[in-house]
Amino acid sequence: MPTPQAQTPQQRKANERFAKQESAKRGKGKTVVKSKQTPRSPVSTVWVAILAFVVCGGIFLEVLGIVPKLWSTVVASVSRLIL
């Protein structure tokens, strides 16, 4: 296999002419302009808020139910210590 050699100026000109002819045969290509789109979440903000309310709302209501029980336990144990 022969080693590749650098192009001569005549070969370079011939290659450029050939490339121009081939591109003229193909016609002018369409230019594609890509618009930048911001990535969006597949879940809307409303559904995220509803899900957060259901999950955190249940926890919040449980805490509200436990606080009076804990408070009565703390008051009873403090009153036993004092008396």
Domain ranges of the chain: 59-83
What tens digit of pLDDT does each residue of 8-18 get? 999 999 999 99
What tens digit of pLDDT does each residue of 28-72 get? 666 666 777 778 888 899 999 999 888 888 888 888 888 888 889
Strands (E), 1-83: none
The identity of residue 56, as a single letter, is C
The identity of residue 64, as a single letter, is L
41's CB contacts (< 8 A; 6+ apart) are 48
Cβ atoms of 15 and 7 within 8 Å: the answer is yes
